[in-house]
Amino acid sequence: MTDEPLLRVSALSKFYGSRVGCENVTFDLWPGEVLAVVGESGSGKTTLLNCLSTRLLPSSGTASYRMRDGQWRELYRMSEAERRFLMRTDWGFVHQNPADGLRMTVSAGANVGERLMAVGDRHYGRIRATAVDWLSRVEIDEDRIDDEPRAFSGGMRQRLQIARNLVTGPRLVFMDEPTGGLDVSVQARLLDLLRGLVTDLGLAAIVVTHDLAVARLLSQRMMVMKDGRVVESGLTDRVLDDPRAPYTQLLVSSILQV
Amino acid sequence: MATPLVVSDVAKSFTMHLRDGVTLPVVTGVSFAIRAGECAVLGGPSGAGKSSILKMLYGNYAVDEGQIIVQHGGGLVDLASASPRTVLSVRRHTIGYVSQFLRTVPRVSALDVVAEPLAERGEDREAAREKARALLAQLNLPEKLWALPPATFSGGEQQRVNIARGFITEHPILLLDEPTASLDARNRDVVVELITAKKAAGVALLGIFHDLDVRDAVADRVIDVTAFGAGKIAA
Amino acid sequence: MNAQSTEIATYNFAYLDEQTKRMIRRAILKGIAIPGYQVPFASREMPMPYGWGTGGVQVTASIIGPDDVLKVIDQGADDTTNAVSIRAFFKKVAKVAVTTETAKATIIQTRHRIPEHPLNAGQVLVFQVPIPEPLRFLEPRETETRKMHALEEYGLMHVKLYEDIAKHGRIATTYAYPVKVEGRYVMDPSPTPKFDNPKMHRSPALQLFGAGREKRIYAVPPFTDVVSLDFEDHPFEVQTFDQPCALCGAANVYLDEVILDDHGGHMFVCSDTDHCEKRRADSTSPSWGGRAKGADGGNGQSSLSSTPTPARRADPRHKGEGKEAE
């Protein structure tokens, strides 16, 4: 573990006109750390995620990222080309709906290989071998490599999306309800897989979820959001076992059965 | 002798916002220290706050007042005010915890559940598994269960997996929350052996034991939690 | 008399009005300045349907002058409907000289082929383009493809080639094969067979591309690098043919299959009709002899039987392309 964070977020706010998307969010994220952002729909957690991943520009505040060369860069001052490059190399984004993150009409192998080709790999055999390796790491049989994700189940699609994101060895992955819309048994398998990958690869991740069980299993730290503001944050098990903010107590008492 | 854990004037209460903000005092003025190689036991009736104290020491419960000073990484850390990142580091390297219940993870074998804390500390995975095997054997967990996820195990079997997981590391401080609750006599004795070995290795232990035989076998002294009763203040 | 007065008096030279031609010339100039970049232009309605070469015709109309000599080919042939009609159109509206001979033409408008006869400096090749965007079938959003061009994000193009190899064991794309122009823009060379891709590389002729329906013009200036995309372990290759042209005996040319009867009879002949006719008429085939190894001075029939030259592959890296003998 290094003594420097990977991401520094300071007083980040996003307003939609007079409506608050998220307001005054401040935190640091360290390498290898998984942060869960929980709250109900409309609490601003997805707005926050989109701002952090630069899919959305905030109204005010800053976010700095420590690049692979150790240089700190302010995300919202980078050019679009730099941000997009970051997005497909050092970052990943796992969408709730795999169709948003996959190319549904190209094969699983090409879905995994696209990022490699985007960063200049021009050796088919090597790209394919890497794709095979990653499919096995997300528990997709090698003989499905030339099938399109259209022919995959929801859980497989989600696992493929994860492989597609991780193939370039990103250091930071954003996840938006990664287990949303999946059967409970499929969810458990995916969570377990994610947990293993995050640990093995030392990934930092920001996981948006409304499911406290997901937060407990995946994250070390969590932030609880309500009406665009962070109402409580801390160690995940501390927040869940000893919730202090009224809203967190409500959330824990009404949802948590783990 | 070294004193790796010092607790001074710690207070804890719960504010129940869902019940009109009523405040439930738990403990106040909690002060004690644990020396290396010593096993102290928290004593007192149910509801006196023994578990809450243990959880505060592990960073699982927030602390309202006071300090929890831990020797960590060559320095001193106040757990009561430490950042989540520091608490995680303390848990990884300094304070171990054996709870009553195993929080199982789907699809991870019992062996790997036990080996995980060592692997997390950077130990070679196979070496960690080897130690895990030895511990599970010592705790008489049938070998045919080792490769299975513990979710379907009986209470006693899960408890033994949990104990093995807690004892496998060489944390200088170990917290024990009724580790023998659902064990038979034979395995209780094994736990006593394990605790004795930890003491000999200079580990500072703090536990809750309802089983008087075990308690008498391991305890160097009893810390009476009723002395920290917050009820008198709140009343 | 009557015919004279009703003929063409109502049309401006080369059909388009001068303002339109200026607008199109500006787009062409911009295209030449940024090789491979698709320049939007205000495509006009032409007296022919989309898909029949409205883009190419507008480009030709904007650059043609009274002294030009125009050749029009459709899939290599001078005598198919599309070629004949467009040639007749310009004969009528611009009164320019027309030819079928590649070497004599100053402007060659083409649909889906590049002539076998090497082009020279001063010649202009005008391509008719149906879909100018090489990324279109992979990324349907125009906003996104423009951004990808702007930021030089071309990984997706290789995804398509990857899919080819995964499905067919090789890059099976045989026409509209994507190229990178001057190391910057990825460009669709229009649906020419990839056989013709090496001819675009450092060609002495100016190559202009017009897409009428899609309202885009792009260009490859003379002596510009045009490199076909590929993988290190699956390098770009052109099509090869097992036998030479059944009529003129030419090897190393692009052949069309011609069905002869209802009993499976067929033969392969030059797709470039002018090239084929010239070789058959002129037994010495002067400037081209070096490349066409099968040219043995005999007529087509005898060369077919006497020297069935094995087909040879063009250099995959596009080197050695040109007039030198291989």
Q: How far apart are CA B195 and CA B38, in angstroms?
A: 10
Exposure string (b/e) for C285-322, b if CB count within 10 Å is 16 or more? beebeebbbbbeeeebeebbeeeebebeebeeebeebb
A118/C156 CB distance under 8 A:
yes
Cβ contact C250:C292 at 8 Å: yes
**Weakest-pLDDT range from A131-135, A184-188, B59-63, C129-133:** A184-188
Q: Is C10 domain-assigned? A: no
Residue C292 has pLDDT above 60, yes or no: no
Q: Calculate how close chain A gets to C166, using CA atoms only, in Å.
A: 7
User: Which residue would you say has higher pLDDT here, A71 or C287?
Assistant: A71
Count chain A–chain B contacts defined by CB atoms under 8 A. Answer: 52
Q: Got the DSSP string for chain B?
A: ----EEEEEEEEEEEEGGGTTEEEEEEEEEEEEE-TT-EEEEES-TTSSHHHHHHHHTTSS--SEEEEEEEETTEEEETTT--HHHHHHHHHHTEEEE-SS----TT--HHHHHHHHHHHTT--HHHHHHHHHHHHHHTT--GGGTTS-GGGS-HHHHHHHHHHHHHSS--SEEEEESTTTT--HHHHHHHHHHHHHHHHTT-EEEEE---HHHHHHH-SEEEEGGGGBSHHHH-
Same structural domain, C24 and C101? yes
Q: A114–C155: do the CB atoms touch at under 8 Å?
A: yes
CATH number at residue C198: 3.40.50.11310
Check whether C82 has a pLDDT greater than 80: yes
Query: Smallest Cα–Cα separation from C115: which of C181, C225, C200?
Result: C200
In chain A, what residues touch C162 (CB-CB under 8 Å)?
Answer: 109-110, 113, 117, 124, 127-128
Interaxial angle between packed helices B125-138 and B110-120, expressed in degrees from 0 to 180 and rounded to the nearest 10: 130
Question: Active-site residue numbers of C?
Answer: 36, 245, 248, 270, 276
Q: What are the backbone angles phi and psi of residue C32, rounded to the nearest 5°?
A: -65, -35
* pLDDT value, residue B122: 82
Residue C39 lies in a domain: yes
B180 min Cα distance to partner chain A (Å): 23
What span, in angstroms and rounded, lies between the C-alpha atoms of C128 and C214? 11
- Edge to edge, the sheet with strand A204-209 lists A91-94, A172-176, A204-209, A34-38, A221-226, A229-235
Mean pLDDT score of chain C, rounded to an integer?
Answer: 86
- pLDDT value at residue C312: 34
* CATH superfamily of domain region B5-227: P-loop containing nucleotide triphosphate hydrolases (3.40.50.300)
User: In percent, how much of chain A has pLDDT > 90?
Assistant: 79
Q: Where are the domains of chain A?
A: 1-90+173-258, 98-169
Chains A and C touch (3+ CB pairs under 8 A): yes
pLDDT per position as a tens digit, B39-69: 999 998 888 899 999 999 999 999 999 999 9
Distance between CA C163 and CA C183 in Å, rounded? 23
CB C216 within 8 A of CB C59: no
Q: In terms of CA atoms, which chain A residue is nearest residue B63? A: A242
Which pLDDT score, from 0 to 100, does residue C308 have?
33
* Domain count within chain C: 2
The residue in chain A having the minimum alpha-carbon distance to the alpha carbon of residue C150 is: A81
- pLDDT tens-digit map of C199-210: 999 999 999 999
- pLDDT bin (cut points 50, 70, 90) of residue C284 is low
Percent of chain B with pLDDT over 70: 96
Which backbone phi and psi does B141 adopt, to 5 degrees?
Answer: -85, 125
| Residues A34 and A63 sit within 8 Å (Cβ to Cβ) | no
Instruction: Give pLDDT, residue B230.
Output: 63
Residue A149 near chain C (CB below 8 Å): no
Lowest mean pLDDT among A242-251, B209-218, C45-54, C280-289: C280-289
Q: Using CA of residue C257, residue C261, residue C262, residue C265, what is the dihedral sign? A: negative
CA distance C37 to C29: 11
Tell me if C103 is assigned to some domain: yes
Percent of chain A scoring above 70 in pLDDT: 98
Model pTM score: 0.84
B31 close to B9: Cβ distance less than 8 angstroms: yes
| ipTM, two decimals | 0.88
Is residue C60 scored above 70 in pLDDT?
Answer: yes
DSSP string covering C65-133: -TT-EEEEEETTBSSSHHHHHHHHHHHHHT--EE-S-GGG-SEEEEES---SSPP-TT-EEEEE-S---
- The domains of chain B are located at 5-227
Residue at C235 is within a domain: no
Whether C171 is in a domain gets the answer no
Give pLDDT tens digits for B214-234. Answer: 999 999 999 999 888 865 444
Name the band, by pLDDT with cuts 50, 70 and 90, for residue A180. confident
Please tell me whether residues C215 and C79 are part of one structural domain.
yes
Range of the domain at C281: 240-326
pLDDT tens string A88-121? 999 999 999 999 999 999 999 999 999 999 999 9
Asked if pLDDT for residue C306 goes beyond 50, the answer is no
Q: Is residue C121 part of a domain?
A: yes
Q: Are residues C222 and C274 in the same domain?
A: no
Say whether residue A220 is in contact with chain B using an 8 A CB cutoff: yes
**Per-residue pLDDT tens digits for B155-182:** 889 989 999 999 999 999 999 998 888 7
Question: Based on the domain organization, do C95 and C219 belong to the same domain?
Answer: yes
- Could you report the per-residue pLDDT of A234-250, keeping only the tens digit for each? 999 999 999 999 999 99
| Of residues A241, A242, A249, nearest to B17 (C-beta) | A249
Contact A172, A91 (CB under 8 A): yes
Given a cut of 80, whether residue C185 has pLDDT beyond it is yes
Determine the straight-line distance between the first and last CA of chain B, rounded to whole angstroms: 40
From CA C217, how far away is CA C59, in angstroms rounded? 8
pLDDT value, residue C299: 38
Q: Check whether residue C103 and residue C186 sit in a common domain.
A: yes
**Is it the case that residue C260 has pLDDT exceeding 80?**
yes
* Chain C residue numbers touching A128 (CB-CB < 8 A): 162, 166
Taking CB atoms and an 8 Å cutoff, what residues of chain A touch C137?
none
Average pLDDT for residues A183-199, to the nearest whole number? 83
Report the run of H or E that residue C158 belongs to, with start and end.
Answer: helix C155-168
With respect to residue C304, please indicate whether it lies within any of the assigned structural domains. Answer: yes
Pairing of strands A34-38, A19-29: unpaired
Structure tokens at B223: 């810390």
Is C30's pLDDT higher than 60?
yes
Determine contact, residues C190/C128, Cβ cutoff 8 Å.
yes
CATH number assigned to the domain with residue range A1-90+173-258, chosen from the 4 options 3.20.20.70, 2.70.170.10, 3.40.50.300, 3.40.1280.10: 3.40.50.300
